Amino acid sequence: MSDKNTKTRDQIDNKYKWNIESMYPNEADWNKDYNAVMQMSDEYSKYSGKLGESAGVLLEAFQEKDKIWQVAEKVYVYARMRRDEDNRVTKYQAFADKCNALLAKASASMSFFTPELLEIPEDKLLGFIKEEPGLKIYEYLILDILREKAHILSKAEENILAQMSEVTSATNDIFTMLNNADIKFGTITDEDGDEVEVTHGKYINFLESYNREVRKDAYDHMYEAYKKQINTIATTYNYNTKTDVVSARIRKYDSSLAAALTSDNIEKEVYHNLINVVNKNLYTLHRYMQLRKKILGVDELKMYDVYVPLIEIPDKTISYEEALDIMRQGLAPLGEDYLSRMNKGISEGWIDVYENEGKTSGAYSFGSYDSMPFILLNYTEKLKDVFTIVHEMGHSMHSDYTREAQPFIYGGHSIFTAEVASTVNESLLMQHLLKKETDINMRKYLLNLYIEEFRTTLFRQTMFAEFELLTHEAVERGEVLTPEWLCNEYEKLNKKYFGEAIGDDEYIRYEWARIPHFYNSFYVYKYATGYSAATAISNKILNDGKTAVHNYIEFLKTGESNYPIELLKIAGVDMSSPEPIELAMKAFEKLVDEFERLV
């Protein structure tokens, strides 16, 4: 499927669409569940003031709470994914909007729960766990709530915050609609002389073009569009950041960073370790940029030159079916059970493959506890797209193992651990491709691709993490995030990370404005830490065989049954130490060394 013009959704074969109908074959059932959550939320107040009466009442309240959220999650996921199929469809815009109200109502109805739980004397609460076997499953959750006792507000205050959640999440929705439904980037002339629209899905392919004018035109069109919207986007992001800061203060955290890390029980040192270790190793990235400049033979390296592969190979398209076969080969070290589960998921309709008009850009794995672990793609038949499938499949397989092994309350994942599952897959695929490659030119290409994965995941996401830290600390000092301040700070960071090889650039200062992850604050650092952990785990799998595979699969089954740092120890990695990041930096340096020798 190599049509340059973006298709409408009804022009795409159903075999390339996810089986979202499996969630609600009849949308009347969606409305039924929606109304059921509304009703159950209204009735949940019957437990208010009674949690400490007995172990039995507490267990019942926990179980009813889980039931409400389990159905609400399914309702929300369906609406959100339907909207993502085509953001222009007003019916599913309305579904998603209704779900925001639903989640806010559910949160408000249960907002008394945690404050009231904490009013129960601790010895009495722990006694309930011993007395009622059914509460044993909630022991970790209860102890985790006790850990956060200092940051839980009164019942009345928690209720107010819960009711405000629909408003405080608005900045994310505003940016999503602007970025996916409204903003347009115009058309450019591609390598074949055809007039082609610049879209989110096509943009990276344009930047990988060997025609420098195509790269420049796509880059200019992209950032000119964001430049025109910069005041709106800066205002949106400013209030998004203010929301984080105000929320942290309300809950008595010493910073918005501390508030963001607390759910995973992550110390701030982990975040700072990442930035510090990467900063100390920027010299290798600078050396790679100088090498890139030399190989491209340009007088001045521009940011639109950063993504083009340095080794040119025949322009080969990889069909979706071929990509699946490559994935199966690359993930073979994970064992038969992993592969059979994966193949079953593919055949049952986990994956939505191609870009269509209005479809949400990028790629993700998403689903509810009761649904398939769906995958959204915008597949363009390039080798990098194969890595995207493998990445998202890592997330979905993580969900598949976890939901089978864990109850609903522990059936999700921290992003801190989720990014490990996806990146282990990428690393295994790359090692597989390098091992079987006999053509020296292709080996150089793959090495360059591997270097780029390090650059875009470990270095780039750390740069984003540093930017988020700067913006939140500025707001905490009482400053306003003006367009000029945001653009200037981002430009300085970009120069620090990329070094002297990059020439002056009038547009890169606007790049922050197109990053959706900034609306889920202090999120992107987990990509970088996850990449570091995954590098270590994939090496264990390839070197230690069955024992490492067993430990890794056991890790995949754990969900949120413990804190991320402890769960990763099951797979043999300690992320409380800077060592995994330092080892990843050494691995990056070795790749650059080998690549430099070969070219």
60 is known as an active-site residue: no
pLDDT digits (tens, 9 = 90+) for 497-536: 999 999 999 999 999 999 999 999 998 999 899 999 999 8
Structure token digits, residue 483: 């367009």
Of the residues 158, 392, 468, 560, only one is catalytic, namely: 392
CA–CA dist 115, 275 (Å, integer): 36
Among 476, 495, 519, residue at a domain's last position:
519
Is residue 267 domain-shared with residue 192, that is, in the same domain? yes
Q: Are 153 and 199 members of one domain?
A: no
User: Which domain CATH number covers 209?
Assistant: 1.10.1370.20
Express each pLDDT in 307-366 by its tens digit. Answer: 999 998 877 899 999 999 999 999 999 999 999 999 999 999 999 999 999 999 889 999
Q: Identify the domain containing residue 451 by its residue range.
A: 188-313+446-519
Residue 194, domain member (yes or no): yes
Task: Identify which of 97, 67, 82, 85 has the alpha carbon closest to the alpha carbon of residue 23.
Answer: 82
**Lowest-confidence segment of 41-50, 210-219, 434-443 by average pLDDT:** 434-443
Distance of CA 497 to the CA centre of its chain: 22
In a domain, 50, yes or no: yes
Output the pTM of the full model. 0.81
- What CA–CA distance (Å, rounded) separates 448 from 471? 33
Q: What does DSSP assign to residue 265? A: T
pLDDT for 4 equals: 60
Say if residue 153 is in the same domain as residue 59: yes
Residue 503 lies in a domain: yes
The chain-wide mean pLDDT, for the chain, equals: 94
Categorize the per-residue pLDDT at 5 as very low, low, confident or very high, splitting at 50, 70 and 90: confident
Determine which helix (DSSP H) or strand (DSSP E) holds 165, and give its type and residue range: helix 155-168
Residue found by looking up tokens 């009849």 in the block: 26
Percent of the chain with pLDDT over 90: 88
What confidence tens digit (pLDDT) does each residue in 354-384 have?
999 999 988 999 999 999 999 999 999 988 8
133 lies in the same domain as 79: yes
pLDDT band at 116; cut points 50, 70, 90: very high
